[in-house]
Amino acid sequence: NAGVTQTPKFQVLKTGQSMTLQCAQDMNHNSMYWYRQDPGMGLRLIYYSASEGTTDKGEVPNGYNVSRLNKREFSLRLESAAPSQTSVYFCASSENRGRTEAFFGQGTRLTVV
Amino acid sequence: SQQGEEDPQALSIQEGENATMNCSYKTSINNLQWYRQNSGRGLVHLILIRSNEREKHSGRLRVTLDTSKKSSSLLITASRAADTASYFCATVRMDSSYKLIFGSGTRLLVRP
């Protein structure tokens, strides 16, 4: 049972490059989330998708875009990476719009140089 | 600013002692959840308490919720070295946004 799978696990980008972080869940969950976690900090919500076909901004959406490709997949795109986007990115899913527990992927460690 | 704020930011206790962490939040909530994060790993859900509940137990964990004070506490009894981790509270607001917002966390060190 894979749960929430994120790819890649590690990535180094140069300033200005673009990339897409992939997330897939196999639990038939409706809601999916993208967070970033900076060293010694809590998680900050970037974007979320309450259900298939919908996306909405979180606390720190600037510099990011998302696509809810289908019920399983929710991708996060950095169009022009900046050093301030160096962080660990976590994807999560929950069955019912936050009313039930969320399951997390293992994270993507992104460094922008 | 973040919805939830944990207190203390760091806690160091001896194995066998109890650990108490507090979480305060700002807006009305649908539920409050506690998560654990081992260093360098993803988060693992511990317990969820709904806004109409006041206390919940799960094994060595006890969570309380006081909606009038907009606060929650997580008690870990008889702590073990393996409980060393960061603990986060997260809230789902009582609106249509369905956002799951995390606090800043408490780093717990349990000394053997």
pLDDT score for A99: 80
Measured between CA atoms, how close is B29 to chain A, in angstroms?
Answer: 11
The CA distance from B94 to the nearest CA of chain A, in Å, is 10
Residue of A63 and A40 predicted with greater confidence: A63
Cβ separation of A42 and B97 shorter than 8 Å?
no
Q: What is the mean pLDDT of residues A40-60?
A: 92
Q: How many CA atoms lie within 13 A of B38 on its CB side?
A: 6
- pLDDT tens track for B61-102: 999 999 999 999 999 999 999 999 999 999 988 776 778 999
Indicate the range of A94-103, B10-19, B22-31, B102-111 predicted with least confidence: A94-103
Question: In this structure, what are the phi and psi dihedrals at residue A38, rounded to the nearest 5 degrees?
Answer: -90, 160
Among B56, B93, B100, pick the best mutation site for testing chain A contact (most A Cβ within 10 A): B100
CB distance A45–B104 less than 8 Å?
no
Interface A-B: count of C-beta contacts within 8 A? 66
Residue B83 DSSP class: G
**Digit-coded pLDDT (tens) for A80-103:** 999 999 999 999 999 877 788 999
Is-contact B6 B93, C-beta < 8 A? Answer: no
Cα B42 from Cα A31, distance rounded (Å): 18
What CA–CA distance (Å, rounded) separates A98 from B6? 20
Task: Decide if pLDDT at B1 tops 70.
Answer: no
- Taking only the tens place, the pLDDT of each residue in A3-40 is 999 999 999 999 999 999 999 999 999 999 999 999 88
Tell whether B102 lies on the interface with A, counting CB pairs under 8 A.
yes
B79 in contact with A at a CB cutoff of 8 Å? no
CB neighbour class for A2 (10 Å; exposed up to 12, middle 13-18, buried from 19): exposed
Mean pLDDT across the stretch A49-64? 93
User: How would you label B22-54 residue by residue, b for 16+ Cβ within 10 Å and e otherwise?
Assistant: ebbbeeebbbbbbbbbeeeebbebbbbbeeeee
pLDDT of residue B3: 61
For A28-46, letters b (16+ CB in 10 Å) and e give ebbbbbbbbbeeeebbbbb
- Which amino acid makes up residue B78? A
Q: 């009313």: which residue's tokens?
A: A99
